């Protein structure tokens, strides 16, 4: 997710008379097991920069947890809001990331590209020795964590990108990206009534397709969690919190769609998913930063996120959640636990 979705350094996202267009040009370097990319997988060498507010970063936090990469890959967590320059590490003592020693993620981008012209985005890999960014290609980062970092996967790590299903997962992920993950942004940041209505219609037609798909299996690809579920969940868990009202995606709340809502609750209650979600960071980011849509910066009190803990009906389906030989991840490290005041999971003690 960019700090400036369309490179407007003032924090302006809406361009009058124009549809929303996400800049998809990222630093496409990769970190690979054999180092042929120029960057070799190495425990402790890289730091994953994220914000819990951002859906694109949320998926990398989930994958890192599910695969047990915490010891091999440290994580820098930026605060939920930012100014026109970049994400800041204001959650850390002194306002500096304790490993990279920087106040802003922008510093890591400029350390490698002094004249970097594009948006400063999370998630991003930073090379700790040099302090420079390696890549911010969010679509590739999770795939590489799953396929290139296998030496450092925990025992019992699930295969989130199984070879026999990769073509199907890739096809579904591409569709979900453009119609749902980005569909909410096209709706929220449309610059004209015509563009808004077109994006709104496409988004809801796409959610209806997913509602039907999830009437036949517990997860998107069948009985086990895959990369496809990781990519859809961050959008769904933010839907009633933000997108329904803030982005005017208001045909109906997600909680009125039985399959999508029970699926969202199911994943939220699954280790590695809900325990990565910071409800307050999510609301702070959208309502404070996106002043085009919310010039008063007033953050709504509701909705009550505790409904994500209500019973779901997804165990009616054939289930092998973690796949052959897979097991649930361990609880998050103490220093990575979401503030108990910001998530119903921690308050409930689950």
Structural domains of the chain in order of their starting residue, each with its CATH number: 163-348 (1.20.1050.10)
| 47-74 residue pLDDT tens | 999 999 999 999 999 999 999 999 999 9
- Among the options 54, 200, 219, 243, which is catalytic? 54
Closest CA to 240 of 232, 249, 231: 249
60, 344, 270, 234: CA torsion to nearest 10: -40
Whether 54 is a known active-site residue: answer: yes
Spot the catalytic one: 13, 46, 161, 185.
185
Report the binding-site residues: 87
Predicted local distance difference test score (pLDDT) of residue 9: 30
Report the binding-site residues for glutathione: 87
116 as an active site residue: the answer is no
**Encoded tokens for 62:** 């989930």
Q: Tell whether the model's pLDDT for residue 22 goes beyond 90.
A: no
Which residue is listed with tokens 């803990």?
A: 309
- Give bridge partners of residue 46 from the DSSP assignment: 127
In sequence order, the 6+-apart residues with CB closer than 8 A to the CB of 94 are none
pLDDT band at 7 (very low <50, low <70, confident <90, very high): very low
**pLDDT above 70: residue 313:** yes
pTM score: 0.95
CA distances to 112, 119, 181, 314 from 22, in Å: 23, 11, 11, 34
Tally Cβ neighbours within 10 Å of residue 212.
11
Confidence (pLDDT) at 346 = 59
**Residue 91 confidence (pLDDT) above 60:** yes
Give the residue carrying structure tokens 């299903």: 165
pLDDT score of 18: 77
């Amino acid at each position: 997710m960019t700090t400036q979705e369309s490179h407007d350094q003032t924090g302006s996202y809406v361009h009058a008379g124009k549809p929303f267009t996400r800049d998809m040009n990222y630093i496409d370097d990769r970190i690979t097991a054999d180092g042929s990319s120029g960057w070799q997988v190495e425990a402790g060498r890289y730091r994953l920069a994220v914000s819990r507010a951002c859906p694109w970063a949320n998926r990398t936090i989930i994958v890192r947890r599910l695969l047990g990469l915490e010891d091999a890959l440290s994580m820098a967590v930026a605060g939920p809001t930012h100014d026109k320059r970049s994400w800041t590490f204001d959650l850390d003592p002194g306002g500096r990331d304790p490993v990279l020693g920087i106040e802003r993620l922008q510093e890591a981008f400029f350390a490698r590209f002094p004249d970097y012209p594009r948006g400063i985005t999370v998630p991003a890999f930073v090379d700790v020795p040099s302090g420079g960014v390696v890549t911010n290609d969010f679509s590739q980062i999770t795939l590489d964590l799953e396929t290139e970092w296998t030496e450092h996967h925990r025992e019992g790590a699930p295969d989130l990108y199984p070879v026999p299903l990769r073509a199907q997962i890739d096809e579904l992920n591409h569709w979900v990206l453009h119609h749902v993950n980005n569909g909410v942004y096209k709706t929220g940041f449309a610059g004209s009534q015509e563009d808004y209505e077109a994006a709104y219609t496409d988004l809801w037609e796409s959610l209806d397709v997913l509602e039907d798909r999830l009437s036949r299996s517990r997860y998107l690809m069948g009985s086990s969690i895959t990369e496809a579920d990781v990519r859809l969940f961050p959008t769904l868990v933010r839907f009633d919190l933000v997108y329904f009202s803030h982005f005017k995606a208001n045909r109906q709340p997600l909680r009125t769609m039985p399959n999508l809502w029970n699926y969202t609750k199911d994943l939220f209650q699954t280790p590695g998913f809900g325990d990565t979600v910071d409800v307050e960071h999510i609301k702070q980011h959208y309502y404070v930063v996106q002043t085009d849509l919310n010039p008063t910066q007033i953050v709504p009190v509701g909705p009550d996120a505790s409904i994500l803990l209500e019973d779901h009906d997804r165990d009616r389906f054939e289930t092998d959640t973690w796949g052959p030989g897979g097991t649930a991840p361990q609880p998050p490290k103490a220093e990575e636990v979401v503030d108990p005041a910001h998530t119903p999971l921690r308050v409930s003690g689950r």
